[in-house]
């Protein structure tokens, strides 16, 4: 395969891409940003810039509701707050807002909303991009929780995390155990942490991953699929193209995370790619590949020498799930090809305070359906509302 030719094709499509001119509910949503969605469907929105202990400036969105019932939504890898709202009335954020909750959505360092730091410039300082799940959990999540509690004057909040959003919640609970008490209930959607089964099913991930990571390092690419980077824009424009990219990307994402053509209809694909991928650091991607290839929930592997300097041992330490004492519900999907139910089952056994482990009764529901799927209201949201009601 000649990469130059592929790049040229993508470029041509992204330049010539002309979107449908008819204005229609779906097409209008295709152009909205978070603020636009919140105003259209909930009538109100607030945004805050919040600074972490180590100087990153994060964007927190809020759809104001009953202050005594704050719910914090934490997105997954390469995602953002937007992914929780792009389904409009059928999205989780709007559903919670309509049910009266005070809905807060964080954006981790490095994504399109949180690409800022007090001293480091993301465009010129490689040091800006030295972060991964550990920093997301230890700093970004902790800062977001404290900010919400301070604003609402509450002692604890409800948290809903999807995929890496849960992985970082486990890191926070394990590494800063005092935060367990600030969370009254967690609803874990397709949580990822130690991916033992998936590591067996993807034996080549280490090889393929290292080709990708080495390529990025060779070209000094620190930001991975950033929203406004050339690669990010090309991918998004290509995937929004209704003649070619739309279906290819739909197939690709469906096949990668579980096949559910019903849950992700073609007309919704442009809306997804108007918001996703939101960008992250190369290190975050590298660490995610390590989680899959090792099947272990451990800190970033720098190689034996640096590991010894950083951690005092040649192999990175594992996070102790026993310290994650927050009360939680785990919700898994049978057709999830990333956070597979066997791994979720192990997690549910190992975590000390799991109230209930729920498997969604549908054969096709999968990893991305949790946030983007058309059938979330009847398969997922009613359960979430039932659970939240018990604790709020």
Ligand X SMILES: *[C@@H]1O[C@H](CO)[C@@H](O)[C@H](O)[C@H]1NC(C)=O
- What's the burial of 198, exposed, middle or buried (CB within 10 Å: 0-12/13-18/19+)? buried
Q: Binding-site residue total for ligand X (CB under 6 A)?
A: 13
The site map against ligand X for 25-44 (x = CB under 6 A) is xx------x-xx----x---
In angstroms, what is the minimal distance from the CB of 104 to ligand X?
Answer: 14
Contacts (CB under 6 A) with ligand X, residues 263-302:
267
The binding track of 143-172 with respect to ligand X, each residue x by CB under 6 A or -, is ---x---x----------------------
Restricting to residues 251-270, which ones interact with ligand X according to CB under 6 A?
Answer: 267
Q: Which residues within the stretch 4-23 sit at the binding site for ligand X (CB under 6 A)?
A: 20, 22
Look up 367 and say whether it is catalytic: yes
Least separation in angstroms between CB 243 and ligand X: 14
Residue span 62-101 as binding mask against ligand X, x where in contact by CB under 6 A, dash where not: ---------------------------x------------
- The answer to whether 313 contacts ligand X (rule: CB under 6 A) is no
Question: Minimum distance from CB of 245 to ligand X (Å)?
Answer: 16
- CB nearer to ligand X: give 228 or 313: 228
Per rule CB under 6 A, is residue 24 in the interface with ligand X?
yes
* CB nearer ligand X, residue 132 or residue 373: 373
Beta carbon of residue 35, minimum distance to ligand X (angstroms, whole number)? 5
Contact between 377 and ligand X per CB under 6 A: no
The one catalytic residue among 163, 199, 240, 339: 163
Residue 23 Cβ vs ligand X, minimum distance, rounded to whole Å: 9
Residue 40 Cβ vs ligand X, minimum distance, rounded to whole Å: 7
Query: Which residues participate in catalysis according to the annotation?
Result: 163, 367
Can you give the binding site for ligand X, defined by CB under 6 A?
20, 22, 24-26, 33, 35-36, 41, 89, 146, 150, 267
């Amino acid at each position: 395969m000649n990469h130059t030719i592929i790049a040229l094709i993508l470029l041509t499509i992204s330049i010539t891409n002309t979107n449908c001119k008819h204005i229609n509910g779906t097409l209008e949503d295709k152009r909205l940003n978070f603020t636009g969605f919140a105003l259209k469907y909930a009538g109100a929105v607030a945004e805050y810039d919040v600074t972490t202990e180590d100087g990153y400036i994060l964007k927190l969105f809020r759809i104001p509701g009953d202050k005594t019932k704050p719910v914090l939504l934490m997105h997954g890898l390469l995602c953002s707050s937007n992914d929780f709202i792009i389904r409009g009335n059928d999205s989780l954020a709007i559903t919670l807002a309509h049910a009266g909750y005070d809905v807060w959505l964080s954006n981790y360092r490095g994504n399109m909303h949180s690409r800022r730091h007090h001293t480091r410039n993301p465009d010129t300082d490689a040091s800006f991009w030295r972060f991964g799940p550990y920093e997301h959990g230890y700093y970004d999540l902790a800062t977001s929780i404290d900010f919400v509690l301070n604003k609402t004057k509450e002692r604890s909040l409800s948290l809903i995390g999807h995929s890496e959003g849960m992985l970082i919640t486990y890191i926070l609970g394990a590494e800063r155990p005092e935060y367990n008490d600030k969370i009254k209930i967690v609803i874990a959607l397709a949580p990822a942490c130690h991916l033992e089964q998936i590591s067996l099913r993807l034996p080549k991930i280490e090889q393929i991953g290292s080709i990708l990571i080495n390529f990025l390092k060779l070209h000094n690419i620190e930001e991975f699929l950033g929203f406004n980077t050339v690669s990010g824009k090309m991918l998004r424009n290509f995937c929004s193209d209704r003649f070619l990219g739309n279906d290819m990307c739909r197939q690709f994402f469906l096949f990668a995370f579980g096949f559910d053509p019903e849950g992700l209809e073609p007309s919704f694909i442009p809306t997804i790619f108007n918001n996703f991928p939101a960008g992250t650091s190369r290190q975050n991607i590298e660490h995610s590949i390590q989680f899959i290839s090792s099947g272990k929930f451990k800190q970033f592997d720098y190689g034996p020498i640096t590991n010894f300097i950083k951690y005092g041992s040649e192999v990175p330490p594992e996070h102790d799930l026993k310290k994650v004492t927050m009360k939680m519900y785990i919700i898994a999907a049978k057709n999830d090809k990333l956070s597979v139910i066997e791994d979720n089952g192990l997690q549910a056994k190992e975590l000390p305070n799991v109230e209930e482990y729920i498997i969604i009764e549908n054969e096709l529901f999968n990893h991305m359906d949790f946030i983007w799927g058309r059938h979330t209201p009847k398969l997922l949201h009613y359960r979430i509302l039932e659970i939240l009601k018990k604790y709020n």
